[in-house]
Copies of this chain bind each other. A is one copy, B any other.
Amino acid sequence: MRAEIISIGTEILMGEILDTNAQYIAQRLPAMGIDLFYMHQIGDNRQRLVDLITQARGRSDVVLCTGGLGPTEDDITRDAIAESIGEQPYVVPELEAHLRNFFERRGGTMPEQNIKQATIIPSGQSIPNPRGTAPGWWVEKDHAIIVAMPGPPAEMTGMWSNDIAPRLAERSPDSVLISRTLKTTGLGESTLDEALGDIRAGEDPTVGVYHKADGVHVRLASKAVDEAAARARIEPVEAAIRDLLGDNIWGADEDTFQEAVARLLDRRGLSIAVMESCTGGLLASTITDVPGASQFFRGGLVTYTAEAKIHYGVDADVIEAHGVVSNETAAAMAAAVRRQFDADIGVGITGVAGPEPHGGQPVGAVCLGVETPDESYATGYTFAQTRAAIKARAVTSALTLIRRAAIGDLSSGSSGIYRRL
């Protein structure tokens, strides 16, 4: 079963709102065995919408429209569907009575232009909208289904769950698409792509490799008659990839990197404290985004100046000798904050988020230090990015080092300063 989504509204094309409705629907189609081939956003222009609906219903089994069901002249979705299939809308007395009643219960009278919300066409059925005045339409013509849902997300999702999803599910698809995403660290996209060579050779499940901010993701997807059958095909391939990649895999599916690191710290009973300069508190904030962080997060210091670093225990001579942005200073920050908060793992971050160079280092230079009771490690990076991206990449790299510290893998670093304590 093939679907496409059409989101209608000039405010989307003006960039004023993000089309979250399409994402909501897209997330729910694979498990129903429905393949989504296109999403479109289009403005409040009747002829263009008529043409797009006509093209879509010619090539897809289901056309899912959102938006354009309001009472104003700009709301053209009903008329466009009607024109595309060559039918004429007419007022349904029961819908009109319901609508007038809706306004009267709120102490008003229905503006006459709202009457268009009480219309239907011969091939259509009206779909109730428990959260607004605009009913939806379910239209079947020439073997294609055309659905019109309201644009406000609360109304759309309510109608989707109550009516549209169950109706689509009844069409009993002969297959479902189930996916599994394994999230890795420490390997590049191309390296991973090559390493997976043989495993990727199979057609089912398909294996996709995607570079993301938190590492490279490997996505397995299988289409089968039901979820159990799809999972049975995915599992052996997942096991083979886990054998191949081992500790490079840090999580799966909806896991975030900070959650994975947090779970690891929690499981191993390790506490942590961080001293940040160029990231300005973002590492602490990211770690404490995880519910239950108070179990292992001891605290953080944002030491934006050299004086503050020294005040909280960094040796002034280290900064003097090596510079404020150096592996040595990062290691000293990690040691100092570990002492300040009596934590198992201390982390130090010093660098140049820009826009100006600082401490003799260029924009994007970042040094990270980590200290455990047994080891100390510090290493440098250059992130050629914007200020926000430098901060984000420094935090992801710091989480990577924290993870390596927790699994006892600090000494494997190919660059930087490693010491046993």
Pair B293/A287 contact, Cβ less than 8 Å: no
Chain B residues within an 8 Å CB radius of A274: 302
Pair B291/A285 contact, Cβ less than 8 Å: no
In the complex, besides A15-B24, A280-B287, 10 extra interface pairs with C-beta distance below 8 angstroms are A12-B39, A14-B30, A18-B23, A72-B189, A113-B190, A131-B389, A280-B285, A281-B283, A281-B284, A300-B302
Residues of A near any B CB (own CB < 8 A): 10-16, 18-20, 22-30, 36-43, 45, 48, 52, 70-72, 74, 108, 111, 113-114, 130-131, 152, 154, 158, 179, 188-191, 193-194, 208-211, 219, 274, 276, 279-285, 287-289, 291-294, 297-305, 308, 341, 353-355, 384-389, 391
Chain B residues within an 8 Å CB radius of A282: 281-282, 285
Output the nearest chain B residue to A51 by Cβ-Cβ distance: B59
Chain B residues within an 8 Å CB radius of A13: 26, 36-39
Separation of A391 and B14 alpha carbons in the complex (Å)? 29
Output the nearest chain B residue to A181 by Cβ-Cβ distance: B16
Pair B14/A179 contact, Cβ less than 8 Å: yes
Pair A15/B11 contact, Cβ less than 8 Å: no
Chain B residues within an 8 Å CB radius of A293: 280, 304
Closest 6 CB pairs of A and B: A280-B288, A281-B284, A281-B281, A15-B27, A15-B26, A300-B302
Separation of A224 and B118 alpha carbons in the complex (Å)? 39
Q: Would you list 7 pairs from A and B whose C-beta atoms are within 8 A, ordered by A residue?
A: A13-B37, A16-B27, A111-B191, A114-B190, A280-B288, A284-B302, A299-B303
Pair A289/B387 contact, Cβ less than 8 Å: yes
- Overall SS of chain A's interface: mixed
Pair A391/B289 contact, Cβ less than 8 Å: yes
Separation of A22 and B19 alpha carbons in the complex (Å)? 10
Chain B residues within an 8 Å CB radius of A71: 189-190, 193
Separation of A188 and B103 alpha carbons in the complex (Å)? 11
Chain B residues within an 8 Å CB radius of A14: 26-27, 30, 36, 179
Separation of A283 and B291 alpha carbons in the complex (Å)? 18
Separation of A391 and B203 alpha carbons in the complex (Å)? 44
Chain B residues within an 8 Å CB radius of A108: 188
Shortest distance between the CB of A306 and any CB in chain B (Å): 11
Chain B residues within an 8 Å CB radius of A39: 12-13, 19, 40-42
Output the nearest chain B residue to A384 by Cβ-Cβ distance: B131
Identify A10's interface contact among B208, B354, B391, CB under 8 A: B208
Chain B residues within an 8 Å CB radius of A74: 208
Pair A279/B289 contact, Cβ less than 8 Å: no
Shortest distance between the CB of A178 and any CB in chain B (Å): 11
Known: A114-B190, A280-B287, A301-B301. A42 touches B37 (CB 8 A): yes
Separation of A141 and B306 alpha carbons in the complex (Å)? 57
Output the nearest chain B residue to A190 by Cβ-Cβ distance: B111
Identify A299's interface contact among B22, B305, B355, CB under 8 A: B305
Pair A304/B298 contact, Cβ less than 8 Å: yes
Chain B residues within an 8 Å CB radius of A388: 289
